[in-house]
Amino acid sequence: MYKIAIAGASTLLGKELKEALEESPLGAATISLLDEEETERKLEQIGDEIAIVQSIGQDTFERIDFTFFCGSESLTRKYWREALRAGSTVLDLSGALDGENGVLVRAPWLGPARVDADLFTPAVAPAHPAALVLGLLLERLSDASGVRFAAATLLQPASEYGRGAMDELHHQTVSLLSFQSLPRAVYDAQTAYNLLAGLGESAGVSLSAAEARIRRHYAALGGNRWPALALQVVQAPVFHGHTFSIAVELERPADVDDLEEALSGERVDLVMEDTDSPSNLAATGQNDVLVRLRTEKGGPTGQVTRLWLWAASDNLRLNAQNAVQCALDLRRLRPQGSVQ
């Protein structure tokens, strides 16, 4: 019976993580819901029981096996060392620990890690869900025919930045329709009915920071196995779900049927019909990445060296599920039974 703490339990990602834990082999664990003081005392449901979100206090992390940090970066920086000193395994979904020495980026679905976590690993960072999708697809294409070049445009939703960003997109949409001034606290730009490759000077979030984090995680996961990635992140006027436009050039010609077979499998749902095109709405609540393959000529005939992938995934769900898989992988480092 493990004890788990979710720091940032009131966030969108925290709620998704709680559900993912309940559906996993860790579902029987005792889960503590933690957050910053202004969000404490909220009621949340864990299985059939009601739990209260508590603020983090003295000895909060004592006897906690796994602590998931999925709130703000400041929350993680403030408390992660305290959790570590208490003997808890730290998993950082906030991105705050990317620059810390020894923190390992993980995605168990992508095969054996190049460097394995041990008792001296300070924390594990479950890979950014966009890096996970790109790695998953390009790894399979690389195994099938080798990839010479890959370029991706990621259309990022408001949910990537939490409830405040989703609320701002909603209020901007309503304000535009009623000819009122737009709220700009998060984006400092009009995101409703708009596509942006950059945000305002006073924005509370950064597309360049998101892009840099995805690049770091992609490189950490792939090492030299995958091609260098040309990447651009665009803020889309949608509430939820990642969508990707990916251009790929293969090292050698390959049959389209072979490429489709290589892409298909666990965690990937290959869509064959145009009428069922992957979309952020179709991906919501799905465990798999939805993918549509197109050749340069627009038809699946003969051998090709260039192709397009249009893909979609549930960003929060994928993030939470990968974090749970990381915890399951790290169970080997937790003591079992009684010490005599």
Q: How many percent of the chain have pLDDT more than 70?
A: 91
Shared domain check, 307 and 165: yes
Please provide the average confidence, as pLDDT, over all residues in the chain: 90
Per-residue burial over 236-275, b = 16 or more CB atoms within 10 Å of its CB, e = otherwise:
bbbbbbbbbebebbbeeebebeebeebbeeebbbbbeeee
Poorest-pLDDT segment among 116-130, 204-218, 229-243: 116-130
CATH number, domain with residue 200: 3.30.360.10
Structure-model confidence comparison of residues 60 and 44, the more confident one: 60
Shared domain check, 142 and 58: no
Angle at 200 between CA 280 and CA 228, to 5 degrees: 55
In the three-class reduction of DSSP (H, G, I as helix; E, B as strand; rest coil), residue 326 is classed as helix
Per-residue pLDDT band at 44 (split at 50, 70, 90): low
Shared domain check, 77 and 163: no
Any bridge partners for residue 32, and if so which? 5
pLDDT, tens digit (0-9, with 9 covering 90-100), for 62-89: 999 999 999 999 999 999 999 999 999 9
142: domain range? 131-315
For tokens 């020495």, the residue is: 101
Shared domain check, 114 and 210: no
Residue 335: pLDDT above 90?
Answer: no
User: What is the pLDDT, as a whole number, of residue 41?
Assistant: 56
Per-residue pLDDT band at 185 (split at 50, 70, 90): very high
User: What is the tally of structural domains in the chain?
Assistant: 2
Give the other-Cβ count within 10 Å of 98's Cβ.
17
Give the other-Cβ count within 10 Å of 140's Cβ.
18
Shared domain check, 207 and 107: no
Shared domain check, 164 and 43: no
What value does the mean pLDDT take over residues 223-240? Answer: 94
Nearest to 305 by CA among 262, 261, 245, 256: 256
Shared domain check, 299 and 181: yes
Chain centroid offset of residue 193 CA: 25
pLDDT, tens digit (0-9, with 9 covering 90-100), for 284-309: 999 999 999 998 654 455 788 999 99
**Does some domain include residue 260?**
yes
**DSSP state, 196?**
B
**Does some domain include residue 44?**
yes
| CB half-sphere exposure, 108, CA atoms < 13 A | 15
Helices within the chain (DSSP H only) = 12-22, 73-85, 129-145, 163-177, 207-222, 256-263, 280-283, 315-330
What value does the mean pLDDT take over residues 308-327? Answer: 96
Shared domain check, 202 and 77: no
Residue 338: pLDDT above 50?
Answer: no
Q: What does pTM read for this prediction?
A: 0.91
Shared domain check, 279 and 137: yes
What value does the mean pLDDT take over residues 90-111? Answer: 93
CATH number, domain with residue 75: 3.40.50.720
Q: How many percent of the chain have pLDDT more than 90?
A: 77
User: What is the pLDDT, as a whole number, of residue 58?
Assistant: 79
User: What is the pLDDT, as a whole number, of residue 340?
Assistant: 34
**Does some domain include residue 210?**
yes
Per-residue pLDDT band at 334 (split at 50, 70, 90): confident
Both structure tokens of 25: 């082999």
User: What is the pLDDT, as a whole number, of residue 74?
Assistant: 94
